[in-house]
Structure 1
Amino acid sequence: MAIVAILLGTFIVPINSTMVSVGLQSVATSMNMSMSSITWVVTIYLIVMTVAQPLAGKIGDLYGNRRIFLVGIVLFLVASIVCMLASNFITLLIGRAVQAFGGALITPNATAMLRYITPKEKLVQTFGIFGFSMSLGAAIGPLLGALLIEQWSWHATFAVNVPILVVAFMAAMRYVPHVEVQKQAKLDLIGSSLFAITLSSIVLIVTQQNYTNVVLWLIVIVGAIAFVRYEQRIEAPLIDFQLFRKRNFRAANMSILLNNGVMYGTLLLMPTLLVIDERFTLTQIGAALFTFSVAISIFSWIGGKFEGSIGRKRTITLAFIITALAMCSYFLLITNSSLLVLHVILFVAGIGLGIGVPSMQAASLSDVDKSASGVASGIYSTFRYIGSTIASVLISLQLGASIMMSVLVIFAVVGIVVSAQFEEM
């Protein structure tokens, strides 16, 4: 029941990451704003989620993963109510920022708790179920959002969170056990500030090109250098760069970056490619991407059982090989007009992108002390978001379908190379 309670709390985060995107036009219309302005509803969420992940993990390590997980649920609940009742853009934006911070507190601390309460031999299977839950949430988000907006309004996309979060909080209070915490250091506030400024500037450059200028690039460069040098000097850093000396940790973070880059590249590329000459309707494209997301969900769960059979390295290598083959088949979609072929190709891509994720997540924690599980999970989540951000940048450059597909093939091939770095259990 503890695992179910944790999964219920985390399930709401990916739903809100994808559900809101389908309601942007509705929000813009109701608030009489342009789409370029209303995209800040997504941008602020991305900034806070990206910046806060390592910080949230560190806070959990210091003050207790269960406690911070519960705080995250409460923040997400309150923020959802604020967004639901918002009658102006500023209120909605504040609500989304708090919602993102709550989500950032939930995810890495949920991962850390799963490590504490799960026997080592069952950890990969547990992360398979965790990956299935998260992917399923992302998959049903757009469909659920469209249904709620069609039947009621965009306010309903936030209202639906409330009963789920209340049940999640009560279940976590009842079933998730306390874990003894030994507070060994203070929170790295200077490092956290440098990290937040640098990463926020990067996300702004990526998502809001109107704000991009030389000053912002200088902030990124100076901030990144200052952050790394400061973190290497202090005793209890926000991000312990010594973790990257561990092969499994380093390979796991690079793998999830590449994996998520391909996944979001697909989600962003397909609507642009397939709707341009009206070969498929938006409904057909949405259904095909739902097939893609469901395949990721199912094979994330199945992948949790693979490692015990063929080993970690082979599981992740197999995942990237399948992904590479699927990316090569994307070139067929440039001229393909068969709906069946589209579904088959995206389903195979979903297999590759889902089946290796549980092993990647388990590998990111396998060589890390349990006391650092939160910060390690936060770093892993950040690399996941970086992969998504890279995909967004590449799509925004409008390189053309063939070039973008070639990039996705390269990502998958690099993933095969990276998978060779994993050590078996």
Structure 2
Amino acid sequence: MGAHNRWLMISVGLGILLNPLNSSMISVAIARLQNVYSLDFTVVSWIIFSFYIASAIAQPVMGKASDLFGRKKIFLTGLVVSFVASLLAPLSPNFGWLIVFRIVQSIGTSMMVAVGMAIVRIHITEKQATALSVLSIFLSGAAAIGPFIGGVLLHYWDWSAIFLINIPFVVASLLLAWRTIPKDESAASVAHNMSFRKWMELIDATGIALFAVGLVALLVGLLSAKSSGYVSWWHIMVGGIGLVTLGAFVRHELETTSPFIPLRTFAKYPAMTWVNIEFMLVNVLFYSLFFGLPSYLQMVRHVSEFHTGMLMLSLGLCSLIVSPLAGRWIDRSGPRPALVVSAVLMTFGSLWLVTLKQDSHVISVCVALAAFGISNGLNNVGMQAALFKSSPKEIIGVASGLFNTSRYLGTILSSLLISIVMGDKFSAEGLQVLGIILTTIALSLVLMSWRRKSRQWGES
């Protein structure tokens, strides 16, 4: 691989790591933000919801936009948007404005994730598999060390540093990308010949609006009822609007020619549908621990942000170490054995949360973190392999998009689960209840993985 290609990979890698880094760093800052803005966890959890809802919408939209306007333009624009959001977020006068800048940041970083892999796939022709695997390390490594970096920043500075730390990455990626990413010559003519109305139909603007409004309204209705401690007509009305809007979204997606989420694909390929359901449940489990445990450690056990980041590092390191080993195992045996072991480990880790008490040694938390970290490493490779085996080659692009949607939905549901269980205050009892719920979900995954027939995996 030549020097130009190496610098191209670095420029793209520095850009795409910003999305997973910012989604994971915030996990150790929840408790600090609660204190700064005097809010309960239910309200502060919107710092998580907003990022993933925006990412779920922005990534597929920006993937289509790159075909129209050019991948380099979208990548560079994403860097500029991320720079502005990271600079302005620390200046937020209230929590509402912080959410706004968090959404802008999510859109900016999603623009780079949406086109980063495509840029490398198109412009690096030698050792392409190696190049793509290196970018995967940027993505998974950033997510793994995010809580540790967040803990260090909070220990030595303040929550604003979690946003400002993005600026050096953005500037370095911008300078390199400007020089190393080739220009898309054909994009301008395509954009010139397409009307705004055609572009809105292409990205399914109606479907996006219905999805966003329905999901946000449903979450507001549920979380407001939980936060206030009673169910009012206003909560029912808002939640009902969300359900009706999501129903309209489903109907629209089944009828439109260019759906935001191609729901008909699920009905046509049931094996692929089950993979996406399992992947969604896997992410509910993983991110419930990922976002819930740091707040528990800081609020209940009074562990510092720095030491919380250190403990959470065990989760990421186990995942990073196991992923390449899992690849070799799955190449030999297929995805099913690895996914069964992963589900068993998540069951064990969830049960371990139930055993934790107020006076349990804080290091014992690492047992649950290690179990989930190893299972995440197995799932990173196993679920992707299961997707490829269950999806026909002619729709693999659509299948990958649905796969990412399942990830985001699982993440959003995990935040909702934590908010409902914990409410306004974290407690050891709340963690035990969460552990019981996660154990039930993990056991269902064990059964789903164990009973999956060979033909459903596409194996002969």
1:189 alignment counterpart: 205
- How far did 1:365 drift? 6.2
Identity in percent: 26
Tell me the equivalent position of 1:296: 319
Write out aligned runs for 1:330-341 (5 A): 330-333=353-356, 337=360
Cα–Cα, structure 1 residues 45 and 348, in superposed 2: closer, same or farther, change >3 Å? closer
* Correspondence for 2:235 among 188, 203, 213: 213
Cα 1:319/1:61, change in 2 over 3 Å:
farther
* TM-score (norm: length of structure 2): 0.74
**Displacement of 1:292:** 1.6
Is 2:176 the partner of 1:155? no
Equivalent residue in structure 1 for 2:143, among 114, 133, 138: 138
Q: Distance in 1 between matches of 2:451 and 2:57?
A: 25
1:133 & 1:264 partners in 2: Cα distance? Answer: 19
Contact kept? 2:25, 2:147, Cα under 8 Å:
yes
Q: Is the 8 A contact 1:116 1:370 kept in 2?
A: no
Q: 1:59 aligns with which of 59, 65, 69?
A: 65
2:104 counterpart of 1:98: yes
Task: Provide the rounded CA distance (Å) in 2 between the counterparts of 1:324 and 1:402.
Answer: 9
Match of 1:407 in 2: 440
Higher relative contact order (CA 8 A, sep 6+): 1
Aligned to 2:408: 385
Q: Secondary structure at the match of 2:407?
A: helix
Q: Are 2:51 and 1:45 equivalent residues in the alignment?
A: yes
Q: In structure 1, the residue corresponding to 2:261 is in which secondary structure? A: coil
Instruction: Kindly report which structure 2 residues correspond to 1:346-357, keeping only aligned pairs within 5 A, or say none.
Output: 346-357=369-380
The answer (yes or no) to whether the contact 1:250–1:364 under 8 Å persists in 2 is no
Residue 233 of structure 2 corresponds to residue 227 of structure 1: no
User: How many Å separate the matches in 1 of 2:218 and 2:15?
Assistant: 29
Shift of 1:77: 1.7
* Counterpart Cα distance in 2 of 1:276 and 1:85: 26
- Aligned partners of 2:82 and 2:104 also within 8 Å: yes
Deviation at 1:351, TM superposition (A): 1.0
Give ranges in structure 1 of 5+ residues lacking alignment: none
Question: Whole-Å Cα distance in 2 between the matches of residues 81 and 329 of structure 1?
Answer: 41
Task: State the AA in 2 paired with 1:78.
Answer: V
- Considering only CA atoms, is the larger Rg found in Structure 1 or Structure 2? 2
**C-alpha distance in 2, partners of 1:264/1:296?**
14
Question: Does structure 1 residue 200 correspond to structure 2 residue 216?
Answer: yes
Q: 1:192 to 1:417 in 2, by over 3 A?
A: farther
**CA apart distance, 1:261:** 1.2
Q: How many Å apart are 1:93 and its aligned residue?
A: 3.4
* CA distance in structure 2 between the aligned counterparts of 1:122 and 1:315, rounded to whole angstroms: 26
Shift of 1:422: 2.6
Partner of 2:231: none
Matched letter for residue 14 of structure 1: P
Letter in 2 for 1:394: L
Aligned with residue 78 of structure 1, among 61, 74, 84: 84
Q: Deviations over 1:183-213 (max 9, x none)?
A: 8973322222212212222343455545972
Cα deviation, 1:141-171, whole Å, max 9, x if unaligned, reads: 3332333234333332222101101222344
Cα 1:28–1:332 shift into 2, 3 Å:
closer
Q: Shift of residue 178 of structure 1? A: 6.3
Aligned to 1:19: 25
User: Is residue 416 of structure 1 aligned with residue 421 of structure 2?
Assistant: no
Paired with 1:272 and 1:229, the residues of 2 have a C-alpha distance of 39
Compared with structure 1, are the counterparts of its residues 201 and 59 closer, same or farther at alpha carbon in structure 2 (3 Å cutoff)? farther
Please give the residue correspondences for 1:86-125 in structure 2 after superposition, counting only pairs within 5 Å. Answer: 86-89=92-95, 91-113=97-119
Aligned counterpart for 1:311 among listed residues 334, 357, 378: 334
> Match of 1:262?
285
Residue 419 of structure 2 corresponds to residue 396 of structure 1: yes
Is the counterpart of residue 250 in structure 1 residue 273 in structure 2? yes
Distance 1:333 1:35, change over 3 A: closer
Residue type at the aligned position of 1:96: R
- Cα deviations by residue, 1:356-400 (Å, 9 ceiling, x for unpaired): 313433654674778983x65443222112212222333333372
CA distance in 2, matches of 1:276, 1:157: 20
The superposition leaves residues 319-360 of structure 1 with CA deviations (integer Å, 9 ceiling, x where unpaired) of 334434444555554599456654344313311122231343
Q: Structure 1-normalised TM-score?
A: 0.80
Q: Is the 8 A contact 1:83 1:95 kept in 2?
A: yes
Q: 1:52 to 1:368 in 2, by over 3 A?
A: farther
After superposition, the CA RMSD in angstroms is: 4.1
1:200 and 1:134 map into 2 onto residues whose CA distance is 27
For residues 153 and 238 of structure 1, what CA distance do their matches in structure 2 show?
39
Q: CA shift at 1:134, angstroms?
A: 3.2
2: distance between equivalents of 1:23 and 1:280?
13
Instruction: Determine the C-alpha separation between the residues in 1 that align with 2:97 and 2:64.
Output: 29
CA contact (8 A) 1:129 1:301 kept: no
